[in-house]
Structure 1
Amino acid sequence: MSAVAAARDFEQGRRSQRSSPAPASPYLGQKRFRNGDPVHTNGTSGQQTPLRQGFVGSQERPHFAPDASIVLVGIRGCGKRSLGFIAAAALGRRFVTEDHYFHKVTGSSRQEYLRIHGSEEFHKQDVEASLRMLDDNRHGCVIDCGLGSLTRALQGHLKAYCQTNLVIYVQRDMDNIKQLLRLSDRSAKMLEMGDPSHRRCSNYEFFNIEDESGTDGDSNDDRASPTYSFKLRELQTDFSNFVRVITQSAATPSNAEVSAFSSNAPIESKLYTHALSLPVSMYRSGALDFAVLEAGGDIAEVKINEWQEGTARLVTRMLAEVRRRLRVPIMVSVTSTSEDFPVNVYFAAVRHALRLAPEFLMVDLTLEKDWIAEIASQSSCTRLVGLLRYRNAGILLKESDQAIGLLEKGLALGINLIRVSAHATTRSDGDRFDQLMRSLKHRYASRIWFSAYLTGPFGRTSQVFNQVLTCVTHESLRPELRLTMDVIPDITACEALRGLFTSFTLDPLHFFVFGANVASSLSLAMHNSAYKAVGLPHDYTAVNVDDWEDLRSRAQASDFGGASVAQPWKVKIVQKLSHMSEHARAIGAINTLIPLRGEHDHTRDTGDQAVYRNRSGFVFGFYGDNSDWLSIQTTLNKNLSPRNVIHSRTSALIVGAGGMARAACYALLQMGCRNICIYNRTISNAKILADHFMGWCASQNFVSAAQIKVIESTTEAWPQGFAQPTIIISCVTHERLPGEEHVADFTVPEQWLGSETGGAAVEQAYYINTPFIQQMKQVQASTGKPWVVVDGLTVLHAQATSQFEIMTARKPPRTVMWDALQLTVKERDGKV
């Protein structure tokens, strides 16, 4: 199946999966059950309950309204207040706290009511107020549910509430809570005893991991402090993404482009992808070094290979850390049912995995159809991947008809991505396995995407050439895996890639940065270090180009892989392209050039072209993309505090009118900022930029009431009707280009710095201490206003990592690229 077909059918497959009907009479004809129903253990207590009660609600998946309120529950100190603030800002909802609502109901604060009426009456009123808070705010809110959630009455209410609303159980390391609240060991133990009860009255879980830059929780941190946003920067990204996923508010608009070149393209539209196997047992033992594992696979496969006391909490924490440190989609797989991992434990693990909203969940297709339907009915934001695993390839070859029946069962339940693996005992198994899989792929063309390979020493060639989600390990994990009972993946992602290049399936390519003055480009170190870390035999060099013919002649070489495009070509080159991404078209500028290969056919769909990345051949045209806007969006998402989240009155200032200014304007509009001012010394260029995006806004149905105003002089007052800017982006180059007189010497007029809540000041120039950065740091220090200052290196790194993935279809090793950038800057500045 082509990449374009995969991208086109992706959403259709998801809709089919979500709408799969649950059976009327599940679990018939099964053994090891009591009273006709399968059983599972509730946690580790040994208590047995019907399997269908293992999921919140009945076998039918709860259908949440788009604006169904989110409720946060958890013990004191877990961070609900800060997380609620973040979620409300991310979703544009009202934040309701128990303290506020108690005062609304009683007219008194909680402390005052307790002092006047005593503890018994206070607790009674507290529960009553909490019940009313939930019932009166079922839509459009984020609700911080306090300690009343530990009472029997409120927990019963929350269980029913889960049928219509999303209830998130928030967890945190007890050592951090103990330190935050200054608890004794005895007090901490008592507080922890109430923790597991929240799992029974919630339908999702989130683990609040400490930010490296500071701590955060339900403490009285000063939200006006310049350091507050730094304490939240990682947590804000994590939880904002989490609530957007579970509320389905992150879905791609129906009219948006699904580009196979995009990093967010469906996994089956990419070739030779890998799933990095991360056993829970190794996480428990502390054997996973995430800094080393970065870019070890296209997705992380969290393998639940144990289930004992405390495993549920451990898995919750593990997924949170994998999300933050590896930044890849997550697939959860559970050890298949056996005497050591019986069906009741299997379903306890699966049930828990769904609470964590991973992107993928692997389901054993040998399970009863009704069981799988039960899982599918609960997987509203998780895509199911079917698993057929055989201990011996001969069994699969002998029982191929049975395998076809299992595939049909998966299809009937909306599962269209399936992994088939079998252990090879001889080299001849490979030929027979390949023949069977070719037959199945032909039979299920356009209906099933197969991840199919053999395991064991005789199966490594099969693993190299499998195109979708080969299970891989990492070199650092092999010694630890040999000490466990786990099935050890046979190869690493680097080894698989090397096999593809040494077999001439993929080709070494030359990448460039093209521009007028790029000889000292900082991108070289980042890209070349990334190639080495990932296992790509490519190289990246800087070339100054004076005209289009010079650029085109280099880019039409058969071994041209792609290029970063710097000034003055970002806008000039647009008219020379065969195809562009919708983002680049809207911006009117590109920064990424990719060759289109194959026969000289300008009508060829670019989706199919995505699979030619990392391959040489005749170049018939060029595809342009833009990762500059992504870098700005990423930077702002990380550095805008919840207090300065973008809303209808948010204003932003863009300085400059070149390619980066275009990307900044587009990023702001995509993020919902509707009030943008542009200042540029050449006023006519600023007006061209403003007119371009006002025209674009008029063509977009989802963009409302945008105002883009040109400020003609730094002596002007900030425009009336615009709030003082909480986002300032300087897009003035640090280099003097031919015919240009301006360099990065801009500072903000004092009358434009009136925001009482500070904001984010982003510099695009690649020097750490430009006049703009020096000014904003001084403003921060002298006024105490919480401005977060972001230098150009941070933006450049975000741009390069996005661009690396667009050009190579591999996940970027972000830490490696950042370290290479820092070293290059030190060498440039003579600090090494």
Structure 2
Amino acid sequence: MAVEEALTTAPRNARLFSPDASIVLVGCRGAGKRSLGFIGALHLHRRLITEDHYFHHVTGLSRLDFLRKHGKHEFNRRNDEVFKRMLDEHRHRAIIECGMSSFSDEAQDALRMFSETNPVVYIHREKEEILRLLESADGERILRADQKHRTCTNLEYYNLHDPSRSEAALSHDGSTTGPWDSHMATPSSLLYAKQDFTRFVDFITGQGLVKLFVQSPFAVKAIPPEYRQHSYSLRLRLSYLLHMDLEWDDFEARGDCVELIIDHWPPNLYDEIAKCVGLIRRKLAVPIIYHVEECPREERRRSAEEKGRMDTELLELGLRLGVEYLSLDLQRKDIPIQRILALKGRSKIMGNFWNVGFLTTPWSDDGHLRDYQQAKALGCDLIRMVRFCSGDSSVEMLREFRARVDALIPDPKPPLVAYDFSILGIRTPLQSRILNPVKHPLMENERDHLATVNTAASCLSLLFSQGELEPLHFYTLGADVSYSLSPCMHHVAYDYTGMPHTFSAEACSTLEELNLICSDTSFGGAALTAPFKVAIVPHLKLKSHHATVIGAVNVLLPLRGKTDVILDHAKSRNRAGLTSEFYGDNTDWSSVFTCLQKSIRPRNYVRASKTTALVIGAGGQARAAIYALVQLGCRNIFIFNRTLSNAQVVADHFNNWAYKEGMTPGKGAISKICHILPSVWEPWPQQYEQPNIIISCVPATGVNGQPPADFEMPLQWLGSPTGGVVVELAYEPLITPLVAQMQVFRDTRNPAWTVVDGLENVSEMAIEAFELMTGRLAPRKLMKEACRKTWEQQRRERSSMSTTT
């Protein structure tokens, strides 16, 4: 069935807002608006406007004082007036947190008007959590009234409970750390909420993927699934997610995205869907294809009109939740397709054609081509065409249909997802290169015939066995890699994802040796250690933005694309051949960044003008650590290194970069970001706070005949009253002199210090290197477990050898 003849052009996108449009957050007290507002303001470098503070600014009185002085009637009138003024004066480059005023009818009318030009986000969360935080007998009534916020907003965000908010946002003297409510934790304590919400606001503003691709085009998440070499859609039904028999960790890296299928209408349906979307984002961190299945079994008694209305509301809910993809059945006549298309915002529309039954037309029929043309005219970003196969259509016919689309439809063409299926499942996973439907290997498929057999791993394994992809060899290369943990982590990831690659650690110390290994046609990529991280940089034609700024590379990739387009090179991963050039990236910085994010306690959240950090060393890892600190927001960084000239080179490099980027305008306290400490005997500079972030970037074992590092912190540099975090990058041995010292110091002097050992950092590096090298999502939990187990096994073997000797 073709699309209705009237639907021939794409409607205007009414929800594509300016990237600098102010974002408004509404919801009831306890939903976490202010915490999220602060996170969003820091991330987007915007002003945070809170309604309480603005009311005091305009009237000179707090809300309570104004109510007491002028009475309820005058307070309500003035409150609505100030609310409208707040919106009108802050239409650009702000995050606006609304208080209880948003419950009034007049305020909600103002929000509806504001939502025509700006994102207005309804923030809500678990009912139990809200009731606990409200501590009010009127909690149920407030929650019912809170549902009205859906009528005056155009987006919504389900603020899942974050276990990392268990510590209160208190400074060392016990006072609150800013103009926030007592339920708010600092951004550094809200690790998971911060990750979720920053991705959400990146999506709203449209800057997420563009920024990722510009900075590191080989990063898996920088390339949308429809443009990847091969991609798979993990199908999860709402009815299953409400009563899961697997853990979320079991679904990690099982697909490039999740297709959330709304097949069930439970009580409190909207909130259940919103929560499931939030859980997928937090637990799996992959894009979501949101699909509303027509007529759930238990709702077949409803009239066609009622079902159409409900499905329309559910589709609009998906767009409100900011899903990356909305699956839209273009054959249905009971839903307003033009209206859905007009509300798409930054979500991509996947136009669907379901050709089911035993009399479906073959791929050679011109009707399929007309359907594709009409979906393109409607502005669909992707087109999915699925056909029930009863033995009357060969695999070659689908291939010929794709060729016709390529030949007859002018560019730009929406990516096509097309495959045959039967009661046994999809005919072959090689039919569609992108967004093949897959399942978890342990999941039942009583209701789903599109993914009965295939898993992402089985699909990839088939691609390798048929020669579409080729086994490659990957390496860790450096002067001392004998105890590298990378091979074990990469091999468990290869097994998990169905790729027959190999990974080994090879000792080499010259660029000639490095070039010999990397010139092999089966070379897939390498993790670089000393002495190559800085030495390789002048020899690389292409580098990521991160590697360019840092001036060091720790991941080397071959470029085998047939054009100069970087996306073509990214799609050539997992294929052998001659290498013309090499690409360099840096994961040292992001692994340090992740370790710091997870370990910094609320009392030590990073403040640009006050937070002080110490980096020990001046090599490639030290450069990455400094870059990580800058990305975290730190602007007071001290370097200690035995050779002062090396430390000065690194400091000058980052000070020059910071000046060009406008981070050090020369006004106020911050004139440069990096400073040199000449000696461990020096007292800590009085004009700076004692360091509460310490990163050791020196090897614990000797390199090139040099003695191992034996650095310990001078006691006069350990005066931070709120403690801090120490990140040790060396892991062989695991307990370095610094780690041993800080563990004792923590246990005997100041328990507020956190010590992060080298295994945490090296596992994060391996995870990112795996994704850069293969273009596949990494099984993070599995790789981290392999890292710890292998290190323990190596330790036992060394201990046994030592005892024998």
Greater Cα shift, 299-308 or 697-706:
697-706
Q: In the alignment, what sits opposite 1:318?
A: 276
Match of 1:823, SS state, is helix
TM (norm. structure 2) is 0.84
The residue correspondences of 1:460-475 to structure 2 (distance < 5 A) are: 460=426, 462-475=428-441
The residue correspondences of 1:106-505 to structure 2 (distance < 5 A) are: 106-113=59-66, 126-182=79-135, 187-215=138-166, 231-250=189-208, 252=210, 256=214, 259-260=217-218, 263-287=221-245, 289-307=247-265, 309-335=267-293, 342-366=307-331, 371-391=336-356, 395-397=360-362, 400-426=365-391, 428-444=393-409, 446-448=411-413, 449-456=415-422, 460=426, 462-477=428-443, 479=444, 481-482=445-446, 484=447, 488-505=451-468
The answer as to whether partners of 1:77 and 1:218 remain within 8 angstroms in 2 is no
Deviations 1:700-733 (A, max 9, x none): 6899776443333334455687676564432222
Q: Which amino acid aligns with 2:26?
A: V
Greater Cα shift, 636-645 or 463-472:
636-645
The residue correspondences of 1:604-753 to structure 2 (distance < 5 A) are: 607-639=567-599, 644-645=605-606, 647=608, 652-669=613-630, 675-694=636-655, 696=657, 707-716=673-682, 727-743=693-709, 745-747=711-713, 750-751=716-717
- Which structure 2 residue ranges, 5 or more long, are not aligned? 667-671, 800-805
Q: In the alignment, what sits opposite 2:669?
A: none
Deviations 1:264-293 (A, max 9, x none): 123344212101111122112334531100
* 1:84 Cα deviation from its structure 2 partner: 2.3
* 1:318 Cα deviation from its structure 2 partner: 0.9
Match of 1:463, SS state, is coil
The answer as to whether partners of 1:277 and 1:472 remain within 8 angstroms in 2 is yes
Greater Cα shift, 311-320 or 663-672:
663-672
Deviations 1:70-117 (A, max 9, x none): 322222322223222222222233333343334444544444555566
Deviations 1:118-168 (A, max 9, x none): 666655555555444444444443333222322222222222222233222
Q: In the alignment, what sits opposite 1:800?
A: 766
Greater Cα shift, 301-310 or 129-138:
129-138
Deviations 1:751-803 (A, max 9, x none): 5855x776654332236654545666777788989766544333222222111
The answer as to whether partners of 2:373 and 2:409 remain within 8 angstroms in 1 is no
Is 1:85 the counterpart of 2:38? The answer is yes
The 1:458/1:505 distance shift into structure 2, 3 A limit, reads farther
* 1:604 Cα deviation from its structure 2 partner: 5.9
1:436 & 1:249 partners in 2: Cα distance? 35
Is 1:542 the counterpart of 2:505? The answer is yes
How many residues align structurally? Answer: 772
2:675 & 2:333 partners in 1: Cα distance? 62
The 1:531/1:690 distance shift into structure 2, 3 A limit, reads same
Deviations 1:499-531 (A, max 9, x none): 112223223333221222222222233212211
2:50 to 94, 97, 108: 97
The answer as to whether partners of 2:66 and 2:75 remain within 8 angstroms in 1 is yes
The 1:440/1:485 distance shift into structure 2, 3 A limit, reads closer
Q: Which amino acid aligns with 1:691?
A: D
The 1:695/1:414 distance shift into structure 2, 3 A limit, reads farther
2:433 & 2:419 partners in 1: Cα distance? 9
Q: How much identity, in percent, do the aligned residues show?
A: 35
2:700 & 2:558 partners in 1: Cα distance? 29
The residue correspondences of 1:512-531 to structure 2 (distance < 5 A) are: 512-531=475-494
Match of 2:698, SS state, is coil
* 1:422 Cα deviation from its structure 2 partner: 1.5
Q: In the alignment, what sits opposite 2:531?
A: 568
Greater Cα shift, 711-720 or 316-325:
711-720
1:382 & 1:728 partners in 2: Cα distance? 41
1:112 & 1:581 partners in 2: Cα distance? 55
The 1:494/1:66 distance shift into structure 2, 3 A limit, reads closer
2:572 & 2:142 partners in 1: Cα distance? 57
Deviations 1:548-603 (A, max 9, x none): 444444434443332211222222333454644343344332212223448xx9x8
Deviations 1:407-434 (A, max 9, x none): 2233334434322221221174322122
Match of 1:99, SS state, is helix
Greater Cα shift, 244-253 or 626-635:
244-253
The 1:78/1:581 distance shift into structure 2, 3 A limit, reads closer
Match of 1:363, SS state, is strand
Deviations 1:600-659 (A, max 9, x none): x9x865543333322334445543322222223334455557873464776544321111
TM (norm. structure 1) is 0.82
Greater Cα shift, 677-686 or 485-494:
485-494
The residue correspondences of 1:54-93 to structure 2 (distance < 5 A) are: 61-62=14-15, 64-93=17-46
What RMSD, in angstroms, separates the aligned Cα atoms of the two structures? 4.1
The answer as to whether partners of 1:732 and 1:744 remain within 8 angstroms in 2 is no
Match of 1:634, SS state, is helix
* 1:387 Cα deviation from its structure 2 partner: 2.4
The answer as to whether partners of 2:35 and 2:185 remain within 8 angstroms in 1 is no
The 1:261/1:373 distance shift into structure 2, 3 A limit, reads same
The answer as to whether partners of 2:312 and 2:335 remain within 8 angstroms in 1 is no
2:64 & 2:751 partners in 1: Cα distance? 32
The answer as to whether partners of 1:71 and 1:143 remain within 8 angstroms in 2 is yes
1:605 & 1:97 partners in 2: Cα distance? 45
Match of 2:442, SS state, is helix
2:361 & 2:400 partners in 1: Cα distance? 12
Q: Which amino acid aligns with 2:373?
A: E
- Which structure 1 residue ranges, 5 or more long, are not aligned? 1-25, 31-57
The residue correspondences of 1:743-782 to structure 2 (distance < 5 A) are: 743=709, 745-747=711-713, 750-751=716-717, 761-766=726-731, 769-773=735-739
Greater Cα shift, 418-427 or 452-461:
452-461
The 1:550/1:475 distance shift into structure 2, 3 A limit, reads same
The residue correspondences of 1:12-27 to structure 2 (distance < 5 A) are: none
Q: Which amino acid aligns with 1:569?
A: F
The 1:418/1:393 distance shift into structure 2, 3 A limit, reads farther
Match of 1:567, SS state, is coil
2:335 & 2:369 partners in 1: Cα distance? 18
Greater Cα shift, 300-309 or 118-127:
118-127
The answer as to whether partners of 2:218 and 2:772 remain within 8 angstroms in 1 is no
The residue correspondences of 1:16-55 to structure 2 (distance < 5 A) are: none
The 1:258/1:805 distance shift into structure 2, 3 A limit, reads closer
1:779 & 1:71 partners in 2: Cα distance? 46
Q: In the alignment, what sits opposite 1:511?
A: 474
The 1:722/1:87 distance shift into structure 2, 3 A limit, reads same
The answer as to whether partners of 1:387 and 1:419 remain within 8 angstroms in 2 is yes
2:160 & 2:625 partners in 1: Cα distance? 31
The answer as to whether partners of 1:644 and 1:726 remain within 8 angstroms in 2 is no
